[in-house]
Amino acid sequence: MKTVEVVLVLLSLLWCYSVSVPSAHGQGRKESKHPGTTSSFISRTGSSVVLPIHGNVYPRGFYHVVLYIGQPPKPYFLDPDTGSDLTWLQCDAPCVRCTKAPHPLYRPSNERVVCKDPICASLHPPGQHKCDIPEQCDYEVEYEDGGSSLGVLVKDNLTLNFIDGIRLSSRLAFGCGYDQLPGASSHPTDGVLGLGRGKSSITSQLHQQGLIRNVIGHCLSSRGGGFLFFGDDVFDPSRIIWTQMSSDYLKYYSPGLAEIVLSGKATGLRNLRVVFDSGSSYTYLSSQAYQFFLDSVMKELSGRQMREALDDWTLPVCFKGEKPFKNMREVAKLFKPIALSFASDSGKTKAAAQFDISPEAYLVISSKGNACLGILNGTQIGLQNLNLIGDISMQDKIVIYDNEKQAIGWLSTDCDRIPKSRSGALSF
C-alpha cells in the first residue's frame, strides 16, 4: 500500500514518443457530447456511490476496489489511497516498465489533458508548473515506500452505479502510467485510486461535475473486505464523532495535533501531527511516540508468559505465547487499548474527539501463531515526525472525510453490511 505522496515536476521529455497517446482502437469521446457526464443535465449532488472493498491487512496486506473505465467499460483493480491525489492506471502507451497486474494494461483514449489545465497545474508545486509541451500534461508521482509512476494525464469514461439505481458515465482525468517502479510494499493491482484533497482526485472531479457531494469514506472489516463510498447519504451524521481538518496540513486528511491516551488515561505525550491514510496497511508513530507505545507494551507483558519472537519476521515486533495463538480473542485480552485525542476548535469548550485503537486494531496473528504489533516506527522509514493512522487501526470503523465541511469523522460499526440503497443507509 502507499503512504504519503510526493509529486514532482516532470520536465524531461525523453519519453515523448510514448506519450503521444494513440487512439486506443477507436475509443474516444463519441459516446459523450458533454465534457462531463453523459447524463450531464441531471444534478446528482444528493446521491452517492458505494463500492465494495476487497482484501485485508494480513495476510494479503492490501485492499482494492473495482472501477470500470473506458468504452466499453473494462474492470480495473485500484488501491484506494487517501494519502495521495492522483489516480493512475498502468498503461499501454506503450509501457516502458510495468509491474504484474491482474488485468491487461489500460489502452488510453485519444484525449489528453493539456498542460494549462488546472488539474495539471495542481500536480506541481507552486511556481514550478511549466509547459514545454503545451498539448500534454506529464506527471511523476513517488511514494514513501520507494514506488513511483511516470506518465501523462488522459481523459476517459468512468462508469458508476449510484445507490438510487442510476448508472452514469463520467469523463474524468487520470494518469496513464507507462513507467512504474514497484515499492517495498508493492502489490498486484492495476493502479492507484487517489482520494486526497487535491483537484486531481476522482472525488474532486466528480464533485466539480455536480455528481456527488465532496465527501468520501470507507469501512474496513477486520474479517476482510468492506466498502468505499463517495457522497454523504449512506450515514447518519448526527451519530459520527467529528473533528475539524487541520488548516496547517492542507495536502493531507489531518485532524491536527493529538495526545496519546493509554488505557483511558492521558499520557502527556502531546502535539503528535496525525494523518489518516488508507494507503498504508499499518499505523506509524514518530520515534518518541513509538518508543513510548513499545515500552508500555513491554511493561504490560513483563509478568505474563510472553516473550519476543525473534524468529518471526512478519512485522518488526512479534510476541510468542506458551502455545501458538489461534484467534484474536486469545491475544487481545493480553494487551491494552490506546487512543489519540484531538483537541477541537483550538481549545474551545467543545470536548476533544478521541480515536480509539483497541488491541484488535493494532495486532495481527502471524502464520506462526505469534502476536505482532501493527504499529510501527515511522521515523525509521522517513516519515520524520508524521504519524499515520493506517488501515489496521481503521478496521470496523466508518471513517469519513467531508471536504465541504472540512471535517473528519468516525464511528465503530459493522463494515460487513454494505449499503445498497438510500433505505439501506447505515444507522449504527
Catalytic sites, residue numbers: 81, 277
Return the amino acid letter for 288.
Q
Say if residues 29 and 37 touch (Cβ distance below 8 Å): no
Phi-psi region of 17 (alpha: psi -120 to 50; beta: other; left: phi over 0): alpha
**Of all helices (H) and strands (E), which one includes residue 143?**
strand 138-143
Return the amino acid letter for 379.
T
Whole-angstrom distance, CA of residue 175 vs CA of residue 84: 13
By CB atoms closer than 10 A (0-12, 13-18, 19+), residue 405 is middle
Whole-angstrom distance, CA of residue 415 vs CA of residue 428: 10
By CB atoms closer than 10 A (0-12, 13-18, 19+), residue 180 is buried
Whole-angstrom distance, CA of residue 301 vs CA of residue 336: 10
